[in-house]
Structure 1
Amino acid sequence: MSTLQTLAAKQADGVDSRYHLAPGLRRQINKVFPTHWSFLLGEIALYSFVILLISGVFLTLFFDPSLSEVVYEGAYTPLNGVTMSKAYATALDITFEVRGGLFMRQIHHWAALMFAASIIVHMMRIFFTGAFRRPREANWVIGCLLLILAMFEGFFGYSLPDDLLSGTGLRAALGGITMSIPIIGTWMHWLIFDGDFPGTIIIPRLYVAHVLLLPAIILALIAAHLALVWYQKHTQFPGPGRTEQNVVGVRILPVFAVKSGAFFAVTFGVLAAMGGLLQINPIWNLGPYNPSQVSAGVQPDFYLMWTDGMARLWPAWEIYIAGRYTIPAVFWVAVIMGLVFTVMIAYPWIEKRLTGDTAHHNLLQRPRDVPVRTAIGAMALTFYVILTLSCINDLIAYKFDISLNAMTWIGRIGILTMPPLAYFIAYRFCIGLQRSDRAVLEHGIETGIIKRLPHGQYVEIHQPLGPVDDHGHPIPLDYQGAPVPKKMNKLGSAGKPGSGSLFSPDPVAQSKALEDAHHKGEHEQLTMLRNYQAGIHGNGHANGNGHSNGNGHSNGNGHANGNGHSNGNGNGLHSDEDTAIASGRSDNDRER
């Protein structure tokens, strides 16, 4: 042991002797995380937020959020002598005069887009797999709040430079929609802007919200989200050895920690490459904000484009109340936004009320197994896509020489007809996938082999996934929520590819030794799992008779478990999937 290791061990022993951390810490670092790739989507959001904080601190050191007017005399010659706000001038200084300033501005902007996009995709995964169901409704609400806050945080952030694009968006969204609210709209507008638009205080106020208030709330929500995930454990997809009471995967140390560290490095590298190579928000080309220079081609970032598209599609209906109050059309954009956010937050309880499902769920669902929810999600995504495309209807009309009015009416008709059509298509597609799975479970996998019977009939040979009856016909298997193999190579009939690098294979002796060690470890894990399951059932005997169901896991009768992993003779084919059960251990903290 090296001197550094000895010193670290001595310090750790000293801490443990004082605070007795070892038992609790061992329990925590032995926690198990699933290995499915979709669980990394949330980590992208977390790492993007960390990069946002780091780059944001750098930008804060040089940015002056002031609307006081100055005459620019800086490195960007085309704007020399132009009167502008100090906020815009310092943004130009960061871009052209601070070493690495443009890179930090762009990586900050790309990280903000990545943060919002990863939250959206992560919540889509949660929605379509049912991970929001009891007992995880609170985490769903936290995710919805994070998405809403990320949208406003991004909007406040790109409004800070006070360039022509951000000023136009600030006037339309924060100024126009706020003033359209009946009765209190004018007072709210004057409260926010301290007078008429733009005033002299809106940028400092947005700066405080963007730098201090919203990041603190987001950080607190992320901490609460991670704490709930840690306490309630991860959900997981159905599979061998996976139940509502355990988690199958890898421990947090060392495997998960190493993978997470590498994934953070990859995320940072991708964002750094984007920040250095892909231009975004070139404020020097836009000039300072001037209310008289509003033009077409003004769109927000993608996560707010649907709100802009809604404003473009909504008819120019004005409502007059008592001859004194006018409700402009843009007010209904805010109403629909509120309805969308409310339904999104309340969806777990809406589904629970309609389905009557009050059970605790730790196993996920495949989208095809819940066609109504999947169809609702498809309908919502179609609604979002149409509104997002409608946000750029002026650009589409200009580039393709189409009437802008025609584009508006296409969007209006599409927003009414396409979501129901998407619902129907997604629903029928899910039903078709269910039938396809059950057909394989009943008849086996198509082998592509045609056989001629003695009386001349031609039939295709199917590989049974389980036992057969006295006549050789497959016995139908029950569907258990896991993927069903539909090709022979899923059963290992095509063999296993060799190991090695891109240009040279591993030595045969090394490959054989690794394969033998893998099979030995798999059988040790199976023995552990059988003993563990026997202890759970309290009968002192392992489940099954030692036969495998095709994934190397016992199913209690030596035949396939309904997911089609057997080779048809009652003894299973070994699979490389899902063999790591917590590196030989399973996390059962759910029961306590």
Structure 2
Amino acid sequence: MRGPWSNLRARVFPDHWSLLFGQIAFYSFVVVTLTGLVLMVPYQPSVEHVVYDGSYAPLHGVQMSQAMDSTMTISFELRGGLLVRQMHHWGALIMVAAILLHLLRLFFTAGFRRPRRLNWVVVFGLLIITLGACLTGTTLPDDMASGTSLAVLDGVLQATPFVGTQLSALLFGGAFPGDVITQFYPLHIIVLPALLVVLFIVSGALALRNKPAQFAGPGRTEDNVVGSPATVAVVKSVGLFCFVAGVVGLMGALATINPVWLFGPADPANTSAGVGSAWYLAFLDGALRLAPGWEAVWWGRTISFAILLPVAICTLFLALVGIYPFIEERVTRDRREHNLLERPRSNPIRTGIGVAGVVFYGTLWAAAGADTMAVQFHLSVNALIHLFQALLIIGPPVAFSITRRICLGLQQRDTKIATNGIETGRILRLPTGGYVETHRPAHLQLTSSEDSRVDTTGRR
């Protein structure tokens, strides 16, 4: 009996550029894993203090943890160590960006509909676990920037009513700062990477099991796939991996990132200036900045809504993103299997919701840099905060309305083209003396690349 994975060599895989984000995420993970294995050897996950006497003169005689000292050794004394460190960091950032773009592609093209709802859940799980891996990884150098981030995290945990102190003690292994590296190091090198490997395997198995989704077009139907044969797809994948590794290596060699020697070692009594949260977590920082300073006293305890409210809103936002395919299926009652992707304009409501979500996220993300914007552009921080607060409320519905109207306008244009054809720019004079522009039938608008594609039967 033929199974879903039988005769893989005879299968054809769509090769649209938007389908590459998932592969880029996986290849970035491979680069991050390989560089991480190299960094594990010289790194010392310990908070025991030593006196730095390495080759970086400005920190001579400064007390720091063994974690920070080993990070300095990797950066300045281990041959190629700084390159590997920066490749590891850049690879993680590219991985997060690729997963986010992959999620956006699935959303706006309806790639999450049956039979691919589980694909959406897996990709969303990849995003959450990757964020966790990045967060735990940035704390391992034990520098001032990571110490400041942990102090913010400790404040958020302790603001949780009734159980905040216990949550903080559980995470940090005691009173802050505790021995957080001992807590985070196994998560970063074993638990979270193992979960990512499992999810990538599940994602690949689902991609092979289900029929590949593709955009509608000439020769493309629910059962007929236009793209590259399996052998060509493998060669392209190898080339893409080499390209991703080369880009990560180039960025690691030319672009400095996370210069821990400029910040110095972590100190709970001090904080870093001019250093913000990582871009992938900036929306949480922005939410904290925009929240009003509301407080209430219940049962003799002061509860700060300035922290609880943004955490609850961000958690709800992420939860809605994770279960959106199931919400849409219940609302539309569409339980059919779809193997063709939709253009964003084909579903104005979904596209409007997506753009509104992007505006909501982008406003929180931008608000995290309100202080830096105020300094650079000589503006009032309070004025910027009030502006972002207004945008957070007004922006999403306005973006939804504008996007929906644009999609409806594009639909009308497509209908006009399908009915009257495509304008050619040729003006003909009628025997009656009038003038008319000739139109070309829409089905004749084929490109040479589409003519050379391969379908499931192998025909050119």
TM-score when normalising by structure 2: 0.96
Matched residue, 1:367: 344
Look up the SS of the partner of 1:280 in the other structure: coil
Matched residue, 1:181: 160
Deviations 1:26-53 (CA, angstroms, capped at 9, x unpaired): 7122222101111111110010000000
Q: Distance in 1 between matches of 2:136 and 2:447?
A: 55
Matched residue, 2:102: 122
Look up the SS of the partner of 1:329 in the other structure: helix
Give the one of 176, 185, 195 matched to 1:217. 195
Matched residue, 1:196: 175
Say whether residues 1:168 and 2:157 are aligned partners.
no
Q: Distance in 2 between matches of 1:315 and 1:282?
A: 34
Give the one of 221, 227, 231 matched to 1:249. 227
Q: Distance in 2 between matches of 1:322 and 1:430?
A: 52
Give the one of 450, 453, 458 matched to 1:580. 453
Matched residue, 1:388: 365
Deviation at 1:263, TM superposition (A): 0.8
Deviations 1:187-229 (CA, angstroms, capped at 9, x unpaired): 1111222221101x21111111111110100110111111111
Deviation at 1:576, TM superposition (A): 4.0
Matched residue, 2:81: 101
Q: Distance in 1 between matches of 2:452 and 2:382?
A: 59
Matched residue, 1:281: 258
Instruction: State the AA in 2 paired with 1:69.
Output: H
Deviation at 1:385, TM superposition (A): 1.3
Distance 1:578 1:315, change over 3 A: farther
Instruction: State the AA in 2 paired with 1:198.
Output: P
Matched residue, 1:337: 314
Runs of 5+ consecutive residues of structure 1 not aligned to the other structure: 1-22, 466-563, 568-572, 587-592
Deviations 1:522-546 (CA, angstroms, capped at 9, x unpaired): xxxxxxxxxxxxxxxxxxxxxxxxx
Q: Distance in 1 between matches of 2:384 and 2:4?
A: 62
CA RMSD of aligned residues (A): 1.9
Instruction: State the AA in 2 paired with 1:381.
Output: V
Matched residue, 1:566: 444
Deviation at 1:333, TM superposition (A): 2.5
Contact between 1:378 and 1:422, CA under 8 Å: does it hold in 2? yes
Deviation at 1:446, TM superposition (A): 1.2
Q: Distance in 2 between matches of 1:424 and 1:378?
A: 10
Deviations 1:388-427 (CA, angstroms, capped at 9, x unpaired): 1110111000111111111111110111111111111111
Contact between 1:235 and 1:363, CA under 8 Å: does it hold in 2? yes
State how 1:416-495 maps to structure 2 within 5 Å.
Answer: 416-459=393-436, 461-465=437-441
Instruction: State the AA in 2 paired with 1:205.
Output: Q
Deviation at 1:248, TM superposition (A): 2.2
Deviation at 1:337, TM superposition (A): 2.3
Q: Distance in 1 between matches of 2:279 and 2:345?
A: 29
Give the one of 205, 216, 222 matched to 1:238. 216
Matched residue, 1:51: 31
Give the one of 49, 70, 76 matched to 2:50. 70
Contact between 1:91 and 1:161, CA under 8 Å: does it hold in 2? yes
Distance 1:121 1:25, change over 3 A: closer
Q: Distance in 2 between matches of 1:241 and 1:396?
A: 51
Deviations 1:255-287 (CA, angstroms, capped at 9, x unpaired): 111111111111111110000001111110010
Q: Distance in 1 between matches of 2:371 and 2:397?
A: 26
Q: Distance in 1 between matches of 2:211 and 2:150?
A: 42
Contact between 2:424 and 2:440, CA under 8 Å: does it hold in 1? no
Between Structure 1 and Structure 2, how many residues are aligned? 458
Matched residue, 1:397: 374
Contact between 2:287 and 2:310, CA under 8 Å: does it hold in 1? yes
Deviations 1:334-391 (CA, angstroms, capped at 9, x unpaired): 2122211210111001111111111101110000001111111111111111111110
Q: Distance in 2 between matches of 1:203 and 1:169?
A: 14
Deviation at 1:296, TM superposition (A): 4.1
Deviation at 1:240, TM superposition (A): 2.4
State how 1:286-301 maps to structure 2 within 5 Å.
Answer: 286-301=263-278
* Identical columns (%): 42
Select the structure with the greater relative contact order (CA < 8 A; seq sep ≥ 6). 2
Deviations 1:300-327 (CA, angstroms, capped at 9, x unpaired): 2211111101110011112321223524
Q: Radius of gyration: which is bigger? A: 1
Instruction: State the AA in 2 paired with 1:51.
Output: V
Look up the SS of the partner of 1:330 in the other structure: helix
Deviation at 1:184, TM superposition (A): 1.2
Distance 1:435 1:196, change over 3 A: same
Contact between 1:183 and 1:325, CA under 8 Å: does it hold in 2? no
Q: Distance in 1 between matches of 2:456 and 2:106?
A: 26
Deviation at 1:25, TM superposition (A): 8.6
Matched residue, 1:471: none
Deviation at 1:241, TM superposition (A): 2.5
Matched residue, 1:314: 291
> By percentage of residues, which structure has more helix?
2
Deviation at 1:583, TM superposition (A): 7.1
Contact between 2:5 and 2:209, CA under 8 Å: does it hold in 1? no
Give the one of 85, 88, 91 matched to 2:71. 91
Say whether residues 1:148 and 2:21 are aligned partners.
no
Distance 1:316 1:360, change over 3 A: same
Look up the SS of the partner of 1:291 in the other structure: coil
TM-score when normalising by structure 1: 0.75
Distance 1:203 1:414, change over 3 A: same
Matched residue, 2:204: 226
Look up the SS of the partner of 1:67 in the other structure: coil
Deviation at 1:575, TM superposition (A): 4.6
Look up the SS of the partner of 1:449 in the other structure: strand
Look up the SS of the partner of 2:25 in the other structure: helix
Deviation at 1:566, TM superposition (A): 3.1
State how 1:10-21 maps to structure 2 within 5 Å.
Answer: none
Look up the SS of the partner of 1:357 in the other structure: coil
Contact between 1:250 and 1:583, CA under 8 Å: does it hold in 2? no
Q: Distance in 2 between matches of 1:75 and 1:389?
A: 38
